Amino acid sequence: MKISRILVPTDFSESAELAVKAAGVLVDYFGSTVDLMHAVPMMKYFHDSMDPLGVPFSIEKDLYPHSLEQAKNNLEALAKAHIKKEHVGTTITQIERKPSEGIYTVANSGRYDLVVMATHGADDSMHLLGGTTEKVIRHSKVPVLTIPKEHSVHNFSSIVVPIDFSERSMQALRAAFELAKEFEAKIVLLNVIELYSAGSDMMPYVPVNIDEQGVYESMMTGLSDYIEENEPAFHLRRSGVVFRDELVSAIHPDIRVDLETVIKKGVSAHHEIVDYVDEYGDILVMSTHGRTGLARILIGSTTEQVARHSKKPMLTIRTLS
């Protein structure tokens, strides 16, 4: 996962400023160029700009240029405050009917490797993921790093990657490995065994006598096969100690990342993931698809529920089909 260029959308709220600060930390590790973007609803510009301009006025000559110039000045001030000069890219200002659509359209332009944005903007909510951020996660073709208002990015020592035996969930490992190398962090593979799994008849399924070591061995077998077929950048090295292994760089064998496996049992996967990462992890790296693929892409999925409720930064990876 290269991170040459980062897009940071902001609405100039205090929460959104944390995302700019996070991008400023990332450039120290990846040497990235950071572009800042401001896109707000069209009707808000009408409301904010009509009074000082007076009437009559021209939308094309007066309203839009005034609003865009003000936004550009604010973006430049943010960049100056939080991004090293040599890493500052361009400022993007757009008046959009739907800010989220404008953001993910720019993100998907092919110029960016990562989007960094706050989980909440000016329309802050105490617990749930902001609507704009949620839509960007859903539609962005590049990874999205969300920063909750409770946290800023300084260092990651424990990177949590939930996996469910599917190849789609394992695709998050590539990004996690790159982060772990740069931050000298460990990766925690988290598998949740749901104790209640409702089928079409809505009857609960309660597994008994779960052999955690057997689950771990099955995970390692599947992971080893997946890496051998799909990940030329690293390979799995078994340590001989249960739940403790390594990912080793294929190019530089001296670069190793500790790999810990944690198996939890719970009523629902997303509750267990959130509880674990909030207590023990520094960042979540998670695929947008799980074992059931397109039927669970974000809307109603484990990934979306975790993104909505976690208090830690989360890197969401759009999986390949």
Domains assigned to the chain: 5-147 (3.40.50.620), 158-313 (3.40.50.620)
> What does the block give as tokens for 136?
């960007």
Structure confidence at residue 307 (pLDDT): 81
| pLDDT tens, position by position, 100-150 | 999 999 999 999 999 999 987 655 543 345 688 888 988 999 999 999 876
Residue percentage of the chain with pLDDT more than 90:
57
- Bridge-based pairing state of the strands 244-249 and 234-241: antiparallel
Residue 234 has pLDDT above 50, yes or no: yes
Taking residues 24-49, what's their average pLDDT? 79
Residue 223 has pLDDT above 90, yes or no: yes
**240 φψ region: left (φ > 0), alpha (ψ -120 to 50), beta (else):** left
Structure confidence at residue 296 (pLDDT): 40
Confidence of residue 41 (pLDDT cuts 50, 70, 90): low
- Which sign does the torsion angle of CA 295, 300, 305, 308 carry? positive
Residue 290 has pLDDT above 50, yes or no: no
Mean per-residue pLDDT over the chain, rounded = 83
Q: How far is CA 119 from the centre of its chain?
A: 10
| pLDDT tens, position by position, 88-114 | 999 999 888 888 999 999 999 999 999
Residue 40 has pLDDT above 90, yes or no: no
Taking residues 13-21, what's their average pLDDT? 91
Q: How many CB atoms lie within 10 A of CB 105?
A: 15
Between CA 168 and CA 299 the distance in angstroms is: 16
Between CA 171 and CA 223 the distance in angstroms is: 10
What is the SS3 string spanning 160-212? Answer: EEECCCCHHHHCCHHHHHHHHHHHCCEEEEEEEEECCCCCCCCCCCCCCCCCH
Structure confidence at residue 15 (pLDDT): 86
- pTM (whole model) above 0.75: yes
Structure confidence at residue 123 (pLDDT): 56
Residue percentage of the chain with pLDDT more than 70:
79
